[in-house]
Structure 1
Amino acid sequence: MPRETTYYSYVVGELPEGCQLCVRGEKLVLFVTGVCPRNCFYCPLSPWRRGDVVYANERPVRSVDDIIAEALIQEAGGAGVTGGDPLARLNRTVEYIRALKERFGEEFHLHLYTTGALATKKALEKLYDAGLDEIRFHPDIFTPNSKLFEREIENIKNAFDFSWDVGGEVPAVPGQGERIKWFAEFLDRLGAKFLNVNELEFSETNMRNLLDRGYKPINDESSAIKGSLELGLEILRWGEENTSLSYHLCTAKLKDAVQLRNRLRRMAKNVAKPYMEITEDGTLRFGIAEYGNLDELYALLVKDAEVPAEWLYINREKGRIEMPVEVAIELAEAIEGDVRFFIVEEYPTWDRLEVERIPLP
């Protein structure tokens, strides 16, 4: 029987090494390109990543230095190389893999996702020589009657010429259990190590496609698709009895409640300024003051309100002065006029996504 992990997921056999690091928040997400030879109906890729763009987590990448900087802030133990299809920009992908191995050493674990459409022997050799540790294939098994699918399946066989970990990764699309089982048997015959099955979720970009096909969310508060988790568990039970593969059912809850949270916690302690609190969820909590003239406000706070200057930080980019929560609460009660005070919570990510704002008093 599949065993439930402490990460709200389910496993048969061994958890892939890439997943072990990921659930602990140690995997840098290296998005190499949004270009892909496929156009899968369930693709969740956001509109601003559906092009030839590069991101390390939420940070836009202009050079390898950006990737290294993000990995250091996260204290990453590895990276998941994804897209799009990273093989659509092979030379770039190889450059990044090699650079990460050179900077962080052989123990820095790198896994990569690809459709397989571009996985020629020559391409795979370049990835292997650069230091790739694990490759995960995601052919579109749900549209099997196409030349592109046939090429993907043939190319997957090339991966077994190299001594890295080979596996598959597909979403649990309700009604498509037989196709997933077919893929599992195909991988098993070749000698693959694992098949990851992901709980299918709605996103901004795939919602219309999924709704048009009759798929529904499990409730009004979740993005998970009804029946996907149940299908995933069915695949794991079947796979344990019929194949020698390891399986991991990666749930929507794992991504939101575990993986992201752990990554934020790792980053927060490296980016938090002295006046910021780190919450249990890994967000940064602090007070802010907003006013038309920041220099005038700063002088008011330091000279008239006698706030120690080391407690204040002028953030001109966001048009505010940041400070400890306790200071903001006291000042909001003492200062009248057009100055507005808030308590905010932000992700410790490059884009500093604001997740909560509480007006004071």
Structure 2
Amino acid sequence: MEAFDAYLNGLVNKNKDTFSAYPDLKWAGYYNTAEASERREELIKKLEENWLFKETKPYHKQISKGCMICGLGSWSCLFITGKCNASCFYCPASQLADETPSTQGLNFESPESYAEYINFFKFKGVSFSGGEPLLFFDRTLQYLKQVRKKCDPNIYTWMYTNGILADEQKFRKLASAGLNEVRFDIGATGFKLDKIKLAKGIIPNITVEIPAVPEEKERLKQLLPEMIKAGVTNLNLHQLRLTKHNAPKLSKRNYTYIHAEHPIVLESELTALEILNHAKEKKLDIGINYCSFYFKNRFQKAGFRKQITNVLADSDEVITEKGFIRNFEDNSIDYKAMVISENKPDGNNRELKLKHKTYFIRMENSFRPTTLTKNQKTEVEKLIKNEPQNAPESQLLFQVWQMEHIEKGLREY
């Protein structure tokens, strides 16, 4: 069995075990996805060259600057709070409690400490998310102001909101503080556009960012011209993902679940691709992109690793596309990941003391030192230099490939 097939089979076993409490879930397989696979191919072909990030993000017309920064790995998302005032069926987390603003497992009790972090690690984009940032508007505003005060003036900033608590005064204060973009989840408000209209002419860029819900496909198509009139410049469509939190609600819908690193909804992807094609056929003046699970899972993780490692690694260390440090000498190869935390870990670690916060840096073995034969060394050198079109068959080369290259494209159903 090829190494990649073994990896995919491992995902199948993991997902079925994780969601064993829901025995009636419809998992994707050869016999129940043939028609959907054919339909996806038709939709993909119509999109032609409009793909970004190794064929994981199809788009119509344009994507926002924030989305481009995200894909390039220079984005930091600060979760202002863990609390939300909506109850969307698709939400992947409970979002019931207010928490210290955080990102990537790091807490930032003061706006100054976060701005310092952004500066030190040279992020080019910052977003404010939650929960719902407008539940704690003054907090959100203070963190935004400090980023604007302490960081590169060209840094791009945006905020996610369900819009329930939005009003013109808040938008004016956010714009005055330098917010470049606001992203509305209109699925939380019955697809109403009234709060978006309040932001028009105040916030420079307005985006609707929602999951591609299959049941709402036709409504979204019909709503696109109204979005444009309301001032929306971009529509970001996410792929629905199954989690332990939303499983009780998603399991009641007749969705087909794809085995990936986390289960994803097949029909959600088809919905996004159909909306993209609709906008293209109608030549609608709005940017639309499908933010696939594969894009998020591959590029966001690798992007953060690279952003941190590029700043902290020694000048002679080799950093891969996936953000790992490669050590390839003589007949041995290994990879390490640079991990940043705020708690001093056991074992060897490096202290990074900034003015407002102290961090601890450790090196984790992602691929332990492995001795190579002469033939293996030649094959590894070839793989590193020239990315293969498909995942390697041998286990060794597959593991090296996982450390080196970001996987291309959307996987088959």
Q: 1:283 to 1:50 in 2, by over 3 A?
A: farther
C-alpha contact 2:242 2:264 (8 A) present in aligned 1: yes
Where 1:10 maps in the other structure, the secondary structure is: strand
- In 2, the alpha carbon distance for the partners of 1:114 and 1:283 equals 34
Q: 1:321 to 1:136 in 2, by over 3 A?
A: closer
Alpha-carbon offset, residue 65 of structure 1: 2.9
- In 2, the alpha carbon distance for the partners of 1:241 and 1:61 equals 46
Q: 1:281 to 1:155 in 2, by over 3 A?
A: same
Alpha-carbon offset, residue 162 of structure 1: 1.2
Output one character per residue of 1:266-321: Cα deviation in whole Å (capped at 9) or x when no partner: 211323479987555224689xxxxxxxxxxxxxxxxxxxxxxxxxxxxx943324
- In 2, the alpha carbon distance for the partners of 1:94 and 1:321 equals 38
Q: 1:275 to 1:194 in 2, by over 3 A?
A: closer
Counterpart mapping for 1:1-361 below 5 A: 1-2=46-47, 3-7=50-54, 8-45=56-93, 50-140=97-187, 144=190, 153-219=193-259, 221-242=261-282, 243-272=284-313, 278=319, 280-283=321-324, 317-321=344-348, 356=366
Q: TM (normalized to structure 1)?
A: 0.73
- In 2, the alpha carbon distance for the partners of 1:350 and 1:30 equals 20
CA RMSD of aligned residues (A): 3.2
Alpha-carbon offset, residue 100 of structure 1: 0.7
Alpha-carbon offset, residue 220 of structure 1: 5.9
Identity rate of aligned residues, in percent? Answer: 26
Alpha-carbon offset, residue 257 of structure 1: 1.4
Q: 1:229 to 1:274 in 2, by over 3 A?
A: same
Alpha-carbon offset, residue 356 of structure 1: 4.7
Alpha-carbon offset, residue 46 of structure 1: 6.2
Question: Greater Rg, structure 1 or structure 2?
Answer: 1
Residue type matched to 2:133 in 1? P
- In 1, the alpha carbon distance for the partners of 2:185 and 2:250 equals 19
Q: TM (normalized to structure 2)?
A: 0.64
Q: 1:221 to 1:82 in 2, by over 3 A?
A: closer
C-alpha contact 2:163 2:184 (8 A) present in aligned 1: yes
Output one character per residue of 1:4-24: Cα deviation in whole Å (capped at 9) or x when no partner: 223410110111111111100
- In 1, the alpha carbon distance for the partners of 2:120 and 2:294 equals 25
- In 2, the alpha carbon distance for the partners of 1:320 and 1:277 equals 24
Residue type matched to 1:320 in 2? G
Q: 1:60 to 1:182 in 2, by over 3 A?
A: farther
How many pairs does the alignment contain? Answer: 299
C-alpha contact 2:157 2:180 (8 A) present in aligned 1: yes
Higher relative contact order (CA 8 A, sep 6+): 2
